Amino acid sequence: MKAMVLERVGAPLRLVDGPDPTPGTGEIRLKVEACAVCRTDLHVIDGDLHHPKLPLIPGHEIVGIVDSVGKGVARSRV
């Protein structure tokens, strides 16, 4: 999984290439097709919002395709 990660407030985002996560019980995994970064994300990156939980992958407006489901998830309902 590739992601732009904020490791320290005010620092540039760093491209990280890690393993694809495995969905747990009741979870799904998306193959992200697009992700918007909004002004709130930029406030966190710039340090305008205090005490973000780091490391952080900015972006919460996501469009994707379900590519894996965890235990207890009915694929027909996703």
Q: What's the total number of domains in the chain? A: 1
- Structure tokens belonging to residue 59: 């972006």
Q: What would the pLDDT profile of 22-75 be if each residue is shown by its tens digit?
A: 999 999 999 999 999 999 999 999 999 888 999 999 998 999 999 999 999 987
- Structure tokens belonging to residue 17: 């290439």
**What domain range is 23 assigned to?**
2-77
The secondary structure element, H or E, covering residue 67 is strand 61-69
- Structure tokens belonging to residue 69: 């489901």
Residue 19 is part of a domain; what is its CATH number? Answer: 3.90.180.10
Q: What is the pTM (predicted TM-score) of this model?
A: 0.79
